[in-house]
Amino acid sequence: MRIFDIVVIGGGYVGVEFADEILSMGKRVTIVDQLTHLLPLSLDPDFSRFIEASILDQGGEFELGESVACIEGQDQVEAVLLDDGRRIPCDLVILAAGFKSNHSLGPKLGLEVSPGWGITVDEYMRTSVPGIFAVGDCAEQHNCYTGENWPIMLASAAMAQGRLAGSNLYSIKVVKSFHGVLGTFSTKVGETAIGVSGLTETQAKNMGIDYVVGTAKVPDRHPGKLEDASTIVIKLLFSRFCHSLLGGQIKGGDSVGEMANILAVMIQNEMTDMEIDTLQIGTHPLLTSSPVVYPIISATVDAITKWYDGPVRKES
C-alpha cells in the first residue's frame, strides 16, 4: 500500500494531534509553523521539546519558524512551498493554522461586541442586553490574572461559564464572578502526555510578573520500576511576593491529565506554597507517586527553597 506524504500547517493542538493520529496510521507527516516550537501559545519551549521528541520518535518531521508561501498543484496537491524557497512534496495538506470565534449573531441582536474577541460579557456572562447571556467561544475571554482579552477557546472554560450563566438566568443565585480563563488542558502525543494550567513562564515574563520556578522529576508509581510507571516532569510558577501558585506544566503518562486539573483547583483557590507543601494526600503504590516525592509537592518544595537562595531576582 502506498504511503502518503502529508503536510500539516499549524503547530498548535489541532495540528499536533492530527499529526499524531496520522503518524499512527503509518503516513509520513511534516508540521509547518511560523513560530519556533510546537504548541507555542500553550507551552514553554522546555516542555514543547517533549512533544517535538515524540513526533520525531514516530517518524514525523517539522519545519518551525517557517511560513507557507503557497500550495502547489493543479487537480490535486503536489507540494507546499515555504517562504525560504524550499519545497515539500505531499499528497495532502491539512490546514490547522489559527481560528476565530463566530460572534456574528451578536450585532444582529444588538449586543455589544469586542472586535476580534467576541461578544462583550460581564463577570456573570451577561451581555449588554438584559436577559441575554453569552458563553464559550462566541464570548470574549479574559485572562484571570490581568483581566485583558485572552485568545483561549476551551471546552473547560465554556463549561464553567455555562454553569454560571445557567445558575443565574433569572436572578443572581450564585454570588460568584467568573474571574477569567486559566487555560487548563491536556493532550497526548505518542506515549507522551502533557498537562497545563495557568500561566507559563513565557506568559509571566511578558506580563512582567515576578515569580519563582519549582521543578521536580519523579516516577508516578512507587517503586518506579513497576510495569506501567512513567516519569513525571513538573514545573510550577509561584508569585515571588504573595507565594500563590500561578501556573504549572506537567509531562508524563496518563496520570498527567488529572494532575493538571488538581493544579487548576489550586490556582483558582489561590493556594500558597506552604498550603500545598502541607497538603494531605492519599497515595498507593499502583496508583500514585510515593508520598515523599509527590510531584506537585516536590516541585513546590523546590520553589520554597529558592525564597532563601540569595538576593531577590527574577527567573532568567
| Mean pLDDT in residue range 119-144 | 91
Cα 251 to chain center, whole Å? 12
The pairing of strands 245-252 and 231-239 is antiparallel
* Chain segment 228-284, per-residue pLDDT in tens: 888 999 999 999 989 999 999 999 998 899 999 999 999 999 999 999 999 998 888
**Phi then psi for 191, rounded to 5 degrees?**
-100, 10
Three-state DSSP class for residue 81 = strand
Mean pLDDT of the chain: 90
Does 132 score more than 70 pLDDT? yes
* Chain segment 141-165, per-residue pLDDT in tens: 988 888 888 888 888 888 889 988 9
Give pLDDT, residue 308.
65
Give pLDDT, residue 180.
80
* Chain segment 35-45, per-residue pLDDT in tens: 999 999 899 99
pTM exceeds 0.95, yes or no: no
Give pLDDT, residue 243.
95
Give pLDDT, residue 309.
60
| Mean pLDDT in residue range 285-297 | 88
Domains defined for the chain, CATH in brackets: 5-95 (3.50.50.60), 105-167 (3.50.50.60), 185-306 (3.30.390.30)
Give pLDDT, residue 316.
44
DSSP letters along 99-150, please?
Answer: -----THHHHTT--EETTTEE---TT-B-SSTT-B--GGGB--BBTTT-SB-
DSSP letters along 162-181, please?
Answer: HHHHHHTSSS--S------B
* Chain segment 73-95, per-residue pLDDT in tens: 998 999 999 999 999 999 999 99
| Mean pLDDT in residue range 19-38 | 95
Three-state DSSP class for residue 251 = strand
Does 3 score more than 60 pLDDT? yes
pLDDT band at 121 (very low <50, low <70, confident <90, very high): very high
Give pLDDT, residue 228.
80
Give pLDDT, residue 38.
96
| Mean pLDDT in residue range 46-70 | 96
Give pLDDT, residue 113.
95
Three-state DSSP class for residue 55 = helix
